[in-house]
């Protein structure tokens, strides 16, 4: 049995710490100084999303229902866990990565769709394609289109999507109830923390996949070991994760170090040394176009 399949005390410890930090942030720390409490709530929201990602990949337990229960309180209340699990596991079919239709997490548009957009819509998407735009308006744009797509599925009779949102109601209500019942944090500050937490996550997803002829060259490795790497639970080593989706977050750095040259050769050298190396060139400049550069404009 691998280390990732033994009792995963690091994941359990981080989960407890995440909920404890959220509780302290919304009560004592918010009463002491609201900006500090809000900042810690932001980190808690971002970390909880990373823990949900671990849960859907089978951590810390083999039982998927137990893992779902551990992350049931939706601190960000943005995406239902079941929908996150379904869409993310579909995203892990590497041959479909970045495809505007087959990859649920693709940020690219079909060139045909792009060509028909209005000038204001193109301006919005172009702004969202910079890292600054992705952090500032990315959560709002992503949430809108995600909910719109799910609404269409529900209207079409997709019962699983409907059930996912029904289950999400109590999950989202739990942290809101906590803030209202026990918190010293105003609800508006909590909502601000949620949005900011989702913005932090947009840093991770900004360029973790790129358009590339070879599927193996589509997934990035960012060799960051700072606060962001912890908040993302080492998912910045994204190509390593895609190749080894069953490996726990705390085993990824050692796994990468043990075969760095092999991993970089596999992903065609798609690598950044740190998140600072991402911010510098792409904070105000898009890395790639919104329209998928490898998809023919006349593709039906």
Domain boundaries of the chain, sorted by first residue: 3-282
74 and 44 Cβ atoms separated by less than 8 Å = no
The two tokens of residue 205 are 């997803």
Task: Return per-residue pLDDT of the chain as tens, 300 residues.
Answer: 344 446 799 999 999 999 999 999 999 999 999 999 999 999 999 999 999 999 999 999 999 999 999 999 999 999 999 999 999 999 999 999 999 999 999 999 999 999 999 999 999 999 999 999 999 999 999 999 999 999 999 999 999 999 999 999 999 999 999 999 999 999 999 999 999 999 999 999 999 999 999 999 999 999 999 999 999 999 999 999 999 999 999 999 999 999 999 999 999 999 999 999 999 999 999 999 999 999 877 644
Two tokens, residue 55: 């849960």
- Count other Cβ atoms within 10 Å, centred on residue 204: 25
Burial of 173 (0-12, 13-18, 19+ CB in 10 A): middle
**Quick check: bond before 60 cis, omega within 30?**
yes
* DSSP H/E element including 71: none
Q: Which residue, among 266, 265, 244, has the nearest Cα to 255 in the 3D structure?
A: 244
pLDDT of residue 160: 98
The whole-angstrom separation of Cα 14 and Cα 49 is 12
What phi and psi values does residue 37 have, to the nearest 5 degrees? -65, -40
pLDDT of 296: 78
- Name the one residue in this structure whose structure tokens are 């410890």: 13
């Amino acid at each position: 049995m691998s280390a990732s399949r033994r009792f995963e005390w690091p994941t359990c410890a981080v989960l407890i710490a995440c909920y404890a930090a959220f509780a302290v942030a919304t009560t004592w720390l918010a009463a002491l100084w609201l900006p500090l409490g809000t900042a810690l709530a932001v980190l808690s929201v971002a970390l909880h999303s990373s823990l949900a990602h671990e849960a859907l990949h089978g951590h810390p337990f083999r039982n998927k229902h137990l893992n779902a229960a551990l992350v049931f309180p939706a601190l960000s209340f943005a995406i239902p866990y079941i929908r996150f699990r379904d869409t993310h596991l579909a995203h892990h079919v590497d041959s479909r990565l970045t495809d505007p239709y087959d990859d649920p997490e693709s940020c690219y548009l079909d060139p045909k769709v792009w060509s028909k957009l209005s000038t204001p819509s193109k301006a919005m998407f172009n702004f969202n394609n910079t890292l600054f735009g992705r952090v500032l308006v990315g959560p709002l744009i992503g949430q809108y289109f995600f909910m719109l797509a799910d609404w269409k599925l529900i209207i079409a009779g997709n019962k699983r999507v409907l059930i996912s949102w029904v289950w999400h109601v109590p999950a989202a209500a739990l942290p809101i109830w906590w803030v209202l019942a026990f918190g010293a944090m105003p609800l508006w500050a909590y909502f601000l923390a949620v949005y900011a937490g989702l913005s932090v996550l947009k840093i991770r997803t900004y360029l973790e996949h790129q358009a590339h002829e070879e599927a193996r060259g589509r997934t990035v490795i960012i060799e960051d070991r700072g606060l962001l790497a912890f908040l993302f639970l080492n998912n910045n080593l994204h190509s390593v994760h895609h190749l080894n989706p069953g490996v726990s977050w705390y085993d990824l750095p050692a796994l990468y170090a043990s075969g760095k040259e092999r991993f970089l050769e596999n992903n065609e050298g798609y690598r950044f040394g740190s998140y600072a190396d991402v911010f510098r060139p792409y904070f105000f400049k898009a890395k790639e176009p919104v329209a998928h550069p490898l998809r023919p404009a006349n593709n039906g």
